[in-house]
Amino acid sequence: MHRSGATAHASNGSRASEPDAHSANGARAVDVTLANNARSTGQERFPVLEIFGPTVQGEGRVIGRKTLFVRTAGCDYACAWCDSAFTWDGSAKDEIERLDAAQIVERLAELGGEAFAHVTLSGGNPALLPGLGELIDVLHARGAEVALETQGSRWQDWFVRIDQLTLSPKPPSSGMETDWARLDDILSRLEGGGGGGEWSLKVVVFDEIDLDYAIRVHERYPDVSFYVQPGNADLTEPEPARMLSTLAVQYEALVQRIMDEPRLQRVSVLPQLHTWLWGNKRGV
């Protein structure tokens, strides 16, 4: 997911900890209270950390697409290499704003102009917000397409209204465990949901164990569009130019490995485009 600088203004709010059901060792606490407390009550207010853009989508099915980002707070995972840990570890809790759909759209219009056409909902895990369908409907009413990425740990009925939905189950290097029954259920509901959107699977690969996991995902869901990308192992390097050569080598190695793998055929191998352009810079 894109890294960004905060464009939302600070408002104070407390976030409590919730034990994680998906952690490989079970020993962690994640700040998800703001997300879990969100319920549909008319003009619902969502926990928003950042609204930024225009930029290009850096990953997955709509890579390179001009878009604006809305990043929500809260996650039910705590991936070891998460590039947006500030959404759940409490370090940015004072930056969270509670915004309703109209306020979010107003911010987007300020950034992208009245004619913005594509919005990406990111996190954290925006699938923790059952009332997010309200925002999706408002964006559609303005003529904007909506993309969203989630790890596939929660179902929401509004999934079928997303134009481009990416399910990104996390590989072993993340420290998380996949609930395969839950992922099966989500994909089954999408297939039978009657929505007009597209959905796809994406797996980040850091090592051979992750690649084996990607093969397992693809073999389990062979008819779902599948994207694989190398992970960014250095989240602290400030200079994009110094990162680029390393990222290119990693990408080339993954491409070659997948070209040699007969079990990965209907697969797209993509870089994290935003890291190639801007490295770990936030606000782009």
Point out the annotated binding site for [4Fe-4S] cluster: 75, 79, 82
Q: Positive or negative CA dihedral for 142, 144, 150, 153? A: positive
Give the contacts of 57 (CB within 8 A, at least 6 positions apart): 2, 63, 64, 65, 67, 118, 120, 147, 273
Residue list for the binding site = 56-58, 71, 75, 79, 81-84, 122, 124, 168-170
* Binding site as annotated, residues for Mg(2+): 84
Structural element, H or E, at residue 230 = strand 226-230
- The conformational region for residue 53 under phi > 0 = left, psi -120 to 50 = alpha, else beta, is left
Helix (H, G, I), strand (E, B) or coil at 179: coil
Strand pairing category for 29-31 and 118-122: unpaired
Q: Binding-site residues for S-adenosyl-L-methionine, please?
A: 81-83, 124, 168-170
Known binding-site residue numbers for substrate: 56-58, 71, 122
Q: Where are the alpha helices (DSSP H) in the chain?
A: 33-36, 101-112, 133-141, 180-192, 208-220, 240-259, 273-278
